[in-house]
Amino acid sequence: MAQMTMIQAITDAMATELKNDENVLVFGEDVGVNGGVFRATEGLQKEFGEDRVFDTPLAESGLTSLGLGVTLEGYRPVVEIQFFGFLFEAMDGVAGQIARHRARSGASKETPVVIRAPFGGGVHTPELHADSLEGLMAQTPGLKVVIPSNPADAKGLLIEAIRSNDPVVFLEHMKLYRSFREDVPDEEYTVEIGKANVKQEGDDITLIAYGAMVQEAMKAAEALAEEDISAEVIDLRTVSPVDYETLVKSVEKTNRAVVIQEAQRQAGVAANVASELSERAILSLEAPIMRVTAPDTVYPFTQAESIWLPNKDDIIERAKQVMDF
């Protein structure tokens, strides 16, 4: 067991799979000798060679489609998009091609592609670096979309993603890369894709979150406890498919829920989660399912992040609204 940051856990997962399977390739812009702009691929080219870990020309459409192409020769690419705001350049490659590849071939071909990309606010990045675009991916049949919130989950989920024969979009929140360390097992292990995690049990209200909002929800739960409100916090971990079994079980116990996302209200996956939960658990609900989200504007200019991004106070306020409904 070692203390690791999330970025170290991610590197560890890639190293594990590069070692385990010679078909695993890691490529993207500056992931080779440079070790990635966040050091996510640090040391991997040195250890596994330029044939396995390599740089690409600066073109997101080209590099994601390169990922699809190499699968035809049995490779398992882990492709990096430097910042997820650059997804738009690769949207056809990811949503129009990779997501459909298995179905359009009548299941005669597999698509073992992982697309890794950093995203997320709070670290003062320039334009189109921090945008939460997971909603676009979650609306695309054929993909699975994973967003870890801590080092241990990141390692287990990424190993699982690399081993999956279905394409996985693996989104890494930049604020979580190095904000804390925790124990991560040295050995290889997997975390099942599509399974949520009950981070904290509670009886009065269910707080459903993912990415950096999990920490905010935990902080909110702590504050709510001081006011004798017992919140159950659930980390979705996978935003497509969502683990409704775990969510319904929780809501049947607490009878109240808030869905929390960093993305704008019209984006993300919160609307879908709230809608599915009302279909599945309406008779258990004492109050409407409410959402905590960012406002429906473009992602803010750097200096406006703190007044724009949702945080624990927004969660506390919304949870109380639901409690007092």
Q: Which residues contact 307 (CB under 8 A, 6 or more apart)?
A: 300
The footprint of other proteins (CB under 8 A) covers 51, 56-57, 59, 61-63, 65-75, 92-93, 96-97, 102-108, 110, 141-142, 144, 164-166, 194, 240-245
- Please name every residue paired with 292 in a beta bridge, in sequence order, or none if there are none: 260
CB 260 → other proteins: shortest distance, Å? 21
What tokens were used for 318? 């919304």
Rounded Cα distance between 292 and 273, Å, is 12
Is 129 part of the annotated catalytic residue set? yes
CB 314 → other proteins: shortest distance, Å? 28
For other proteins, the closer CB: 57 or 228 = 57
For other proteins, the closer CB: 121 or 156 = 156
What tokens were used for 221? 């739960």
Q: Rg of the chain over CA atoms, in angstroms?
A: 19
- Please name every residue paired with 25 in a beta bridge, in sequence order, or none if there are none: 77
CB 224 → other proteins: shortest distance, Å? 30
CB 233 → other proteins: shortest distance, Å? 21
Query: Pairing relation of β-strands 114-119 and 168-173?
Result: parallel
List 101, 124, 129, 173, catalytic entry = 129
Q: Hey, is 63 helix, strand or coil?
A: helix
For other proteins, the closer CB: 30 or 110 = 110
For other proteins, the closer CB: 88 or 189 = 88
Compute, in degrees rounded to 10, the torsion defined by CA atoms 249, 252, 258, 262.
10
Give, in order, the Cα–Cα distances in Å from 110 to each of 115, 118, 239: 15, 25, 22
CB 136 → other proteins: shortest distance, Å? 17
- Contact (CB, 8 A) for 174 and 116: no
DSSP letters spanning 201-212: --SSEEEEE-TT
For other proteins, the closer CB: 75 or 308 = 75
Q: What amino acid positions are annotated as catalytic residues?
A: 129
